[in-house]
Chain A
């Protein structure tokens, strides 16, 4: 943990809101990235960032100083994202939301947000987004944690409240779905990994 984080946490625990402000300003961007990859939606990601820092503030006393604050924060963000995804599923189930329509809306939003980011062609970005949206909440979480966050499978299992083997198979399913959707778009050249 960075010394400056440790100092800020100490001061924040003592009721110094300015110290907590520093932590929020320092970690908001990375937390947003995790939240966006989990939810696939900018507005949801913004909400998750807010909720993450709110939970962090309320549970700051339970943060262990030897741990990495950033990792701890990311874990809270993952849980907040999961809660949001589950609440959305419950809401759709309760109010008869059309998953197809939700998918289209999400894809359209993501597409609009990504137009000025030309690492991929706009069309391909839409396909990747749609492929990610095909994943269930658990599949998306497990994949994001393993692929982007580099989290060990055991910890992913703990985060999702499932056995290690189940976590592993959740990742397999996620990768298989991505492969099915995106294989037509890959170029055939050797992989260096």
Chain B
């Protein structure tokens, strides 16, 4: 048998040489040069073996839990808020539907007559009610867009060439998809084309992520980033999200300058 090369020695050390293991072992017994090489390799790896890991105290698990508990709690509160937002949204849908029904069934004033009814109060005028509804919709959607924005940022900031672990994001995306649908339909029914269009653009990205594997390949990351970039999705989400929160609308950013 020929001398064992470096890679064969490594395979033999880790018992990864399969059917060649016996032959390699026999060669090592017979060849002093290869044996010396193999011994050196084993000793080098033994040095790494001996490298100690810093000790953590017996109560380390409790320390980890004490930090973690707070973060898990935040997630619980987020769920409560999501449920509250969903309930508020459903109430809004019913309210808007009732308004639409009432409007359709109110008889129009007779032509050529001077209105004798007192003018409507500005507070209850249809225009103001619609404006209030827009505002409520914007506020409710704002929280949803904040969550979506954070996720889009993580995706756009990822180094596509290395792939990406999206275990946590996948779950978040699954939660966001259903909320996104509800908000989009409400916005459509309410005639808010701007929010409806934004949510319609956002939905495929959320869907793609919610159906992805835990680990995205470089190609999948690049594809998602391209989709986000092509529709300027992150910027649009930021604008509406900022308006919902009463913040100043951010200036558009060139590609690759997103910050967390």
Partner of B61, one of A24, A54, A76, A89: A24
In the complex the two chains form, is B64's CB within 8 Å of A24's CB?
Answer: yes
Look across to chain B and name the residue whose beta carbon is closest to the beta carbon of A138: B162
Look across to chain B and name the residue whose beta carbon is closest to the beta carbon of A114: B52
Binary flags per residue of B45-56, CB closer than 8 Å to A gives 1, else 0: 111111111111
Q: Which of B66-74, B128-136, B142-150, B186-194 contacts A (4 or more CB under 8 A)?
A: B66-74
In the complex the two chains form, is B60's CB within 8 Å of A29's CB?
Answer: yes
- 10 CB contacts below 8 A, A to B, read A17-B72, A54-B68, A54-B71, A58-B75, A117-B55, A124-B47, A179-B40, A179-B41, A182-B47, A187-B43
Interface residue B94 (Cβ < 8 Å from any Cβ of A): no
In the complex the two chains form, is B10's CB within 8 Å of A172's CB?
Answer: yes
Look across to chain B and name the residue whose beta carbon is closest to the beta carbon of A54: B71
**Which residues in chain A, 15-62, are within 8 Å of chain B measured between CB atoms?**
17, 20-21, 24-29, 32-33, 36-37, 42, 49-50, 53-55, 57-59
Query: Complex Cα distance A178/B159, Å?
Result: 27
* Interface band, chain B: 35 or more
Count, chain A residues at interface, CB 8 A: 63
Interface residue A191 (Cβ < 8 Å from any Cβ of B): yes
**Which residues in chain A, 172-193, are within 8 Å of chain B measured between CB atoms?**
172, 175-176, 178-179, 182-183, 185-193
In the complex the two chains form, is A191's CB within 8 Å of B38's CB?
Answer: yes
In the complex the two chains form, is A186's CB within 8 Å of B64's CB?
Answer: no
Q: Which of B118-126, B163-171, B197-205 contacts A (4 or more CB under 8 A)?
A: B163-171
Beyond the given pairs A176-B6, A187-B43, 17 more chain A to chain B contacts, judged by CB atoms under 8 angstroms and listed by A's residue number, are A21-B69, A24-B65, A29-B60, A33-B53, A36-B54, A50-B68, A79-B167, A86-B159, A125-B52, A146-B14, A147-B14, A147-B49, A161-B162, A172-B10, A182-B44, A190-B39, A192-B42
Interface pairs A-B: 4 shortest CB-CB: A25-B61, A191-B42, A186-B43, A117-B52
Binary flags per residue of A126-168, CB closer than 8 Å to B gives 1, else 0: 0011011000000000000011000001000000010000001
**Which residues in chain A, 48-87, are within 8 Å of chain B measured between CB atoms?**
49-50, 53-55, 57-59, 76, 79-80, 82-83, 86
In the complex the two chains form, is A26's CB within 8 Å of B47's CB?
Answer: no
Knowing A59-B167, A113-B54 are in contact, say whether A172-B44 is a contact too (CB < 8 A).
Answer: no
Interface residue B27 (Cβ < 8 Å from any Cβ of A): no
Interface residue B215 (Cβ < 8 Å from any Cβ of A): yes
Interface residue A11 (Cβ < 8 Å from any Cβ of B): no
Which residue numbers of A lie inside 8 Å of B, CB to CB?
Answer: 17, 20-21, 24-29, 32-33, 36-37, 42, 49-50, 53-55, 57-59, 76, 79-80, 82-83, 86, 89-90, 113-114, 117, 119-120, 124-125, 128-129, 131-132, 146-147, 153, 161, 168, 171-172, 175-176, 178-179, 182-183, 185-193
Binary flags per residue of B152-196, CB closer than 8 Å to A gives 1, else 0: 000001010011110110010000000000000000000000000
B150 CB to nearest A CB, Å? 15
In the complex the two chains form, is A119's CB within 8 Å of B52's CB?
Answer: yes
Partner of B43, one of A36, A117, A191: A191
A-side contacts of B62, CB under 8 Å? 25
In the complex the two chains form, is B159's CB within 8 Å of A90's CB?
Answer: yes
Interface residue B16 (Cβ < 8 Å from any Cβ of A): yes
In the complex the two chains form, is A172's CB within 8 Å of B7's CB?
Answer: yes
Look across to chain B and name the residue whose beta carbon is closest to the beta carbon of A25: B61
B-side contacts of A42, CB under 8 Å? 54
B71 CB to nearest A CB, Å? 6
A-side contacts of B46, CB under 8 Å? 186
Interface residue B227 (Cβ < 8 Å from any Cβ of A): no
B-side contacts of A32, CB under 8 Å? 53, 56, 60
B-side contacts of A129, CB under 8 Å? 51
Interface residue B82 (Cβ < 8 Å from any Cβ of A): no
